[in-house]
A and B are shown apart, each in its own frame.
Chain A
């Protein structure tokens, strides 16, 4: 049975002063951005020690976001799988419908603390875009969100929501017109605007200190989960599962477990249409260490270091890289990483909707599918905890189109 460990494990010590998680991470950016990253690192370190900052964030998380998010027993899904109990950490019930808001409120408060007056962000599925737009509306900051033109097409409800919240959405027409290109454009904006603008990166990727900051703001997911597990079960879960694109919900869910427990952890990448290059977005499964967007991590690139095109039905996982700490957890063996295909994820959306009355995001459905596979192999006394990172309203039209369903 999984245990609470006596003290922090060495795996949870990262990053070091260079922003390294083992060999991964670091800071590979143009000189123009270096000073802003150092400034951010210092501002974050000070904020993390400042009770006023923490209490302001906690009040927003409680009253605006609605935290803590519930732990939910998926009874009919459990019966269907026919094995271990499946429990869901309901990040989909957060205000704006996903875990992303945990990070954007923290970083928007940091923006004010640093005296910066404008925010930019990238978004894939639009969840981080909406969460950034929301945090900026609440704190009175102007916000520009870069979003791949292909994602603008497939995530229309979120585009509308961002505009409604007063954020300017700039479609990105370069490259594959998805998340990776949105990050490129946001970074280019930041190159010119860095003096008065903060870039709210939405995933646990990018140059140091972003992976650490995003993980820390998301770690409330794992901390609440540990607390709720102790209350509900009197013990820890036997397995924790989360989907991994850039890896922010997984980093937030896993980190407290890595810090203090030996609970088995599983990250689920986007298997897309299959294992051929270009058909998936699973760098931890199929990639190699390389540099993308300012850090060293597993990445899908060719022998010359050119980033490969990737595919996932889920816009939020459609990314060729992954956070450096996941690469470290993979190589150390602390977290197991697997993948789930588009088809299985689509089916999992329907299965969860029709058995639990929960319409989840396509991203989160990757974790739900894996949970059902794991449950089948385990006894009914076992507890599997899934991070249900987001709700699926944004995907309804796309799921319908992909499954060829009639309206």
Chain B
């Protein structure tokens, strides 16, 4: 399995912007997630992000909240996610990054969680409610287990803090494009390119940008300003079609897999200069 930084530098060396599709584990069930991961991996997007459903996700907008609610409604457990990823991992080549609330990590036991994540085949973790200077030992434990703990930087992060976090980052920096929750937005913030330029000067590791990005046109706008683009809600809302309305009007799974694969392929093309 390649490391996150190796994967991203390979893209950079080919003048390409990586795409990081986000999928919620277990929505609508783990069998679908596994099949989707195989399809996405076949497109060689760069990285794949897997969301661990959480009951109270305050950084997420309605689309991802709803997918977490659907996954948890079938009593999905953390151990089942690890088993599922462990099962599908041998078929995959792209580094996997877990998006998981610290509420889950802490209750599960940080060391145990990291050990399971590593053996399931994850390369890194995004823990959106864990602040970089927290005295909890998560960062040290990640270093020890060889997992990248991906820091988040947002438009509200003061400049001195940006430098401090960037100097210690491993894997990549997740730049949150807007102050707000996840979800599709039509335009990109006006100061985004300037903020990314500043961050890339500060950062020894690649910079990927997420929140609000859902269209190939936005990827084209961003591709010379970052190393990767994260797309979540635009994928998850297509998965929602498998659960919406009554069973007779729902699309079949293959149709949804095809639709998502085509969409992500479009994003990947947009990331190639």
Contacts and interface: CB of A to CB of B under 8 A. Distances in A.
Nearest to B180: A192
Given A290-B106, A291-B102, A18 B129 contact: no
B128 A30 contact: yes
B103 interface: yes
B157 to A, nearest CB: 6
Contact of A291 (B78, B103, B152, B155): B103
B102 A28 contact: yes
A184 B69 CA distance: 14
A1 to B, nearest CB: 41
A305 B107 contact: yes
A29 B78 contact: no
A194 to B, nearest CB: 6
A381 B43 CA distance: 80
A27 B107 contact: no
Interface residues of A, number: 35
Contacts of A291: 101-103, 106-107, 129
A188 B61 contact: yes
B56 A293 contact: yes
B129 A30 contact: yes
B56 A34 contact: no
Nearest to A180: B56
Interface residues of B, number: 43
A180 B54 CA distance: 14
A296 B54 CA distance: 16
A305 B108 contact: yes
A32 B56 contact: no
A354 interface: no
Interface stretch (B28-36, B130-138, B141-149, B201-209): B130-138
B106 A35 contact: no
A35 B129 contact: no
A294 interface: yes
Interface in A164-208: 174-175, 180, 184, 187-188, 191-192, 194-195
A27 to B, nearest CB: 6
Task: Please provide the 8 A-B residue pairs with the shortest distance between their CB atoms, ordered closest to farther.
Answer: A305-B107, A192-B180, A305-B104, A291-B103, A187-B58, A30-B59, A305-B103, A306-B55
Given A31-B156, A174-B65, 20 more contacts: A28-B129, A30-B58, A30-B128, A31-B131, A32-B154, A34-B131, A184-B57, A191-B58, A192-B178, A192-B179, A290-B107, A291-B106, A293-B58, A294-B129, A296-B106, A303-B108, A304-B104, A304-B107, A305-B54, A307-B56
